[in-house]
Chain A
Amino acid sequence: MTDMTTQISAAPQDIINRGTLRERLEEPFMRGGQIGLLLLLALVFFLPVLGTLLTAVRTIPDITQNGAWALPASYEWGNLGRAFVEMLPYLKASVIITLPSVAGTLLVSMMAGYALSRMRFQGRIWMFLVIVSLSFVPIHTQLIPVFRLMSDLGLHDTFAAQIIVHIMRQIPFAVLIMTNFFNTVPGELREAGRIDGASEWTIFRRIYVPVARPALSALIVLEFTWIWNDLLWGLVLTQGAGKKPVTVGILSFEGEYEIAWNMVASGAVVAAIPTLAVFLAFQKHFIRGMTMGSVKG
């Protein structure tokens, strides 16, 4: 009996000790394992990028002799230069398409987001739901009629057609983001503006737009990447090389160089540089935009 009671009373103490002890012993192993696993995953994740970069700056004989994973025998930076020159018309087209598209998207969606978030009117929730739903509409439902409409309007194979379509496609998501952002701005600012004698437009332009700057930078980075990276519209709405964006360019580049891997890789690097640069420079904004209610990727 005495034995048992001692045991019982000692037991909880024991369990706690053993638990903490085990955890203490486990801790370094767990941590080591975690770091190891993370590094391994990161490496695997990074291999495609690394391989592309390596291949871009090598010669074909170097690749065939030493295999794809060897360090370059010589660094052929000229590959990138050649790829850049050949890609230049596409890069130009992408810039001409992307910048106005982003600006247009921002303006239109800020106005709509402001109205949805800060004004009370009949049909507001309904309008918001329509916009959320539209952000899921697959491009496939619009491809054919838009193609036809642009042909009818005489806009086929123009920058204007691509710009309009990009703005249209981005409106739902951008309005969603701006609405959600303006929801976080105190409504009292608008009321203070009204009492100060500002019109609705003045309140929007002089109070809400400046306040929205953090959300805007996130949205700009995101929209830039998405619009720049589009492929389907670039394929469908263009004919001549002059109006095709760089995403289409890389495909014809691939067709042209077939087995010249170093040139294909160089082309890919050149085509990816603008979005990569924007991404690396504004990673924080990008991620924040992504998580502001995003469903895209």
Chain B
Amino acid sequence: MAHVTINQVIKNYGAVRAIKGIDVDIDDGEFVALVGPSGCGKTTLLRMIAGLEDITGGTIEIGGKVVNGLQPKARDIAMVFQNYALYPHMKVADNMSFSMQLAGASKDEIKVKVEDAARILNLEPYLDRYPRELSGGQRQRVAMGRAIVRNPKVFLFDEPLSNLDAKLRVSMRAEIKSLHQRLGTTAVYVTHDQIEAMTMADKIVVMSEGRIEQVGTPLDLYDEPANLFVAAFIGSPSMNLLEAQVCDGGVRFADGTVLALSGTEGFETGRPVIAGIRPDTFELAERGLTVQVNVTEPTGAETQVVGQIGDTPVTCLMRERISGRYGDVLHVLPQGPVHLFDPETRQRLGTARAAIVN
């Protein structure tokens, strides 16, 4: 167990700077998700923590010790790879104990540890099988078993669920989370799937283009996204982002509709803003924002309306069962927070709420 401190870390690939000076503090026992679109540098950062990539600048500390120059084996970490990286010619038990064999552990010790890990992961019946004889979910568990057996200071996960089907992914998500809560080992988890990050992590680091966009708890990020990138990235379906202008007592959208808001008083009238409205906050109304429907997608519990307000594509998640068709028109009003962003700096300005419309 240990905390991990990432301090001003930089990574260059030739002339390209892939990681542009990153600071993250990971507390002992914390589960941190690194999330962002592909190419944002999250995997590179993880591999730098693992010691699989050189660190161009800055320092990485594990348990208070700078590990920059250390080989992976000297860092006391374990890693679960995207494709599991199970040794195909070794049985499950050998896969899990390979590191202990190399370290010269005794047979008895190995046996105890492997059986412990197998019990935790429900892998006991499979110890004598080869990886090719296992299902995707079982292989995934073996990869985790290999990490558990080492009892490391830090677990590193590199998109470990991306090769599983949707249903399995949901159950493995819960399994990894409960495993972490039981073992209490610090974990760094890379994913491009914000739902995975939201559901599993104590703390999320949102990255884009080699920089950190925001660090916070899942609900912090959801409730108070620091900028447009985080606003659009966190939450599914994505937040709707509509151009507007501050007017007296609210904002005026491009199509002329005025939305009465409380909380815009501080802004100067006529100031351009981008209003961020989560899809699930919309409710049907007599008057309000006019949505031209493209399609409606019923899921049973709710209906997702995909359409546009003016020229801006929007998604609304309605509790009513709506059967709109292409070209139909709906009127909706947000009943939750409306996030306001600066179109220039793309940073958050504040949160407003819909006022009662008279």
Contact = CB atoms under 8 A, between A and B. Distances in A.
Interface of A: 186, 188-189, 191-198, 202, 207, 210-211, 213
A194 B85 contact: no
Contact of B87 (A192, A194, A195): A192
Nearest to B149: A196
B73 A195 contact: yes
A198 B50 CA distance: 14
Contacts of A213: 89
Q: What is the interface of chain B mostly: helix, strand, loop, or mixed? A: loop
A197 B86 CA distance: 15
Interface string B79-106: 1011101111100000000110011000
A159 to B, nearest CB: 34
A194 to B, nearest CB: 5
Given A191-B81, A196-B73, A202 B102 contact: yes
Interface residues of B, number: 23
A192 B88 contact: no
B298 interface: no
Contacts of A191: 50, 52, 72, 79, 81, 85
Nearest to A187: B85
28 contacts: A188-B81, A189-B85, A189-B87, A191-B50, A191-B52, A192-B81, A192-B85, A192-B86, A192-B87, A192-B146, A194-B52, A194-B71, A194-B73, A195-B73, A195-B78, A195-B79, A196-B73, A196-B98, A196-B102, A196-B146, A197-B73, A197-B103, A198-B73, A198-B98, A202-B102, A207-B89, A210-B89, A211-B89
Interface of B: 50-52, 71-73, 77-79, 81-83, 85-89, 98-99, 102-103, 146, 150
A251 to B, nearest CB: 45
A197 B85 contact: no
A194 B102 CA distance: 11
B141 to A, nearest CB: 15
State the 4 A-B residue pairs at the shortest beta-carbon distance, nearest first: A197-B73, A188-B85, A196-B99, A192-B85
Contacts of B85: 186, 188-189, 191-192
Contacts of B82: 188
Contacts of A210: 89
Q: Which of B50, B72, B78, B146 has the most CB of A within 10 A?
A: B72
Contacts of B103: 197
